[in-house]
Chains A and B, each alone.
Chain A
Amino acid sequence: MAKRIVARDVSAYYGAFRAIEGVSLTIEPKSITALIGPSGCGKSTFLRTLNRMHEVIAGARVEGQVLLDDEDLYGEGVDATAVRRTVGMVFQRPNPFPTMSIYDNVAAGLKLNGVKGKQRLDEAVERSLRGANLWTEVKDRLGKPGAGLSGGQQQRLCIARAIAVEPQVLLMDEPCSALDPISTLAIEDLMTELKDRYTIVIVTHNMQQAARVSDTTGFFTIDGPGQPGRLVEIDATEKIFSNPSEKRTEDYITGRFG
C-alpha cells in the first residue's frame, strides 16, 4: 500500500522564477515526514510537486524526477489525475464541498472513480470516517451538510474524503493551521494512526508540530529574496531537534533566524 517517494534533483518554476532548486530526498513508506522552513522557502511548492498539483498553476513546471516506488510521476504518458488519486492531499483550510452532506463529501471521490452500489459506498464511507476518527461523532447525521461541522471535524472530514479513494501517500499542507490546539492534537493523533497504512508528508509552519508528530524532518530555506528554496537538511526528527548537523537548521529551530 504505502509507497516510498524518491525525489531526484527536483526544481520547480513559476514561469521564469525558480521557486525550488535541486531537491533530492527519500521519504520512507509508513512514516511521517515533516517539511519545515521560513515562509517562501518552497516547502509547499515541493509538496505540490509530489502529486503534480504544482503544474495546475499556469506557467508552472517541474524539472527532475519524482519516483513513487519505481514509477516516475513525471514520466512520459503518466496521467496526472491518476497520480493525484494515488497521492492524496489535505489542505490548510478545511474545504468540504459546501453543498454536500457529510456522506456525499466522503463518497464524492469514490463516485467520481466509478464506485457504484449503495452497500459498497456505505461501507467505504464508514471505513473512511472511522479511519479519520470521525465516525462516532457523525454517524447519526450523515445526511447533514459537511459545512455544519466544527473546523477540526471538517478537517477530519477532508482527511476521510482523501483516504476514501485509498491513496498510497497523503500530502498535508498546513493541515492544522486553522484549528484550535485540541483539534490540532486530534489531527496529530490521527496522523500517527494513519502512518500504519500511508506514507505521510506534512508541511507545517509549526515547528513544535513537526517535532511532535513526524519521524523525519526536512528543513528548507532561501538565501534571500528572489533566490530559489533549497533543502538544507533532512534527518530523523529526534536528531533535527536535538542535534542538527547544519548550523542553518539550528539557527532556524532555535529562533535565531527566519
Chain B
Amino acid sequence: MRDTYHEQLAEVGDGLIEMSRLVGSAVSKATTALLDADLDAAEQVIAGDEQVNALYRQLDDVAVQLLARQQPVATDLRAIVTGLRMSSDLERVGDYAVHIAKVARRRHPHSVVPIELRATILEMGQAATRIAVKAGTVIATRDLTLAAQLLADDDTIDALHAQLFSQLLSPSFTHGVEAAIDLALVGRYYERLADHAVAVSHAVTYLVTGEHGEPESYASE
C-alpha cells in the first residue's frame, strides 16, 4: 500500500546514507590534504562539497513534500523530522571538511602540520573519519549499540583536541603564531564535526525509540 509514499520515505533514508558517505570521504581526504600538503586532494574536497549541498537541498524538498502530502505519523514522522536534522548535521560535517581543506590549500606548498604534531593530527583525522562513517552506518542500520560507540569516539576526539591545545601552548612549540592559529582552527574543526556526528547518533536514538534519551540506555550488550 501507498507505494509512492514508501518510495519517498526510502529516498530520505538513502539520501542521508549517500550524504554520510560523501562527507566521510571528504573528511578523510581533507586529512590527507592537510598532512601531505596535497593541493589536489584539497581542491577535490572543496569542489565535492557542492554535491553534498545539492543532496541537502534535495532532501529538504522531499521531506517538505512528504509532510505536505502524506501526513506521516509515528516512526515515519520521526524519520522525516530527524531526517531534516541529520541532513543539516551532515551538511555541516561536509563544511568542516572544506574548512580543513582550505587551511591546507592556503599553506600549500608548505605543510600546516609540523612533524612533532603529525601524530596528533593524524589520529584526530582518523577518528573524525571513523565517526563520520559510523554516523552513516548508524543511519543505515538504526543500530543503537553502534550509536553509543560513536559517543566514545567523540570522547577520543575531545581528548585529542585538548592534547593539541596543550602542545600548541607549550614553550617547545616554535612555529609561530600563524601556524598555531591554523592548527588551533583545524583542531576545532575536527572537534566540531565530531559533535555533529554525535547529534546524528542522538537523532537516530530518537527516531528508533521516540524518546530523547542517550543511546547507551538503549544499546544492547
Contact = CB atoms under 8 A, between A and B. Distances in A.
B5 interface: yes
A238 B1 contact: no
A242 B65 contact: yes
Contacts of B217: none
Contacts of B69: 211-212, 237-238, 241
A257 B3 CA distance: 32
Interface stretch (A5-13, A121-129, A134-142, A185-193): A185-193
B175 to A, nearest CB: 53
A11 B3 CA distance: 38
Contact of A192 (B4, B64, B68): B4
B71 A212 contact: yes
Contacts of A186: 1
B174 interface: no
Contacts, number: 28
B68 A241 contact: yes
Nearest to B64: A242
Nearest to B69: A211
Nearest to A208: B71
A238 B3 contact: no
Interface string B51-73: 00000000000001100111100
B2 A189 contact: yes
A238 B70 CA distance: 11
A133 B64 CA distance: 31
Interface string A41-69: 00000000000000000000000000000
Interface string A215-240: 00000000000000000000001100
Interface residues of B, number: 11
A192 B3 contact: yes
Contacts of A185: 1-2
Contacts of A208: 71
Contacts of A241: 68-69
Contact of B1 (A189, A237, A242): A189
A215 to B, nearest CB: 11
B66 to A, nearest CB: 10
A211 B4 CA distance: 12
Contact of A211 (B1, B3, B64, B70): B70
Interface string A183-207: 0011011001000000000000000
B73 to A, nearest CB: 12
A211 B2 CA distance: 13
A189 B6 CA distance: 12
A179 to B, nearest CB: 14
A238 B65 contact: yes
B68 A211 contact: yes
A238 B1 CA distance: 20
A134 B80 CA distance: 33
Nearest to B4: A192
Interface string B1-25: 1111100000000000000000000
A179 B48 CA distance: 51
A20 to B, nearest CB: 27
Contact of A242 (B3, B68, B70): B68
Nearest to A241: B68
A212 B4 CA distance: 9
Given A189-B1, A242-B68, 7 more contacts: A189-B3, A192-B4, A211-B70, A212-B5, A237-B69, A242-B64, A242-B65
14 contacts: A185-B2, A186-B1, A189-B2, A192-B4, A208-B71, A211-B69, A211-B71, A212-B69, A212-B70, A212-B71, A241-B68, A241-B69, A242-B65, A242-B68
Interface of A: 185-186, 188-189, 192, 208, 211-212, 237-238, 241-242
* 7 A-B pairs with the lowest CB-CB distances in the bound complex, closest first: A211-B69, A241-B68, A242-B68, A208-B71, A238-B65, A185-B1, A242-B64
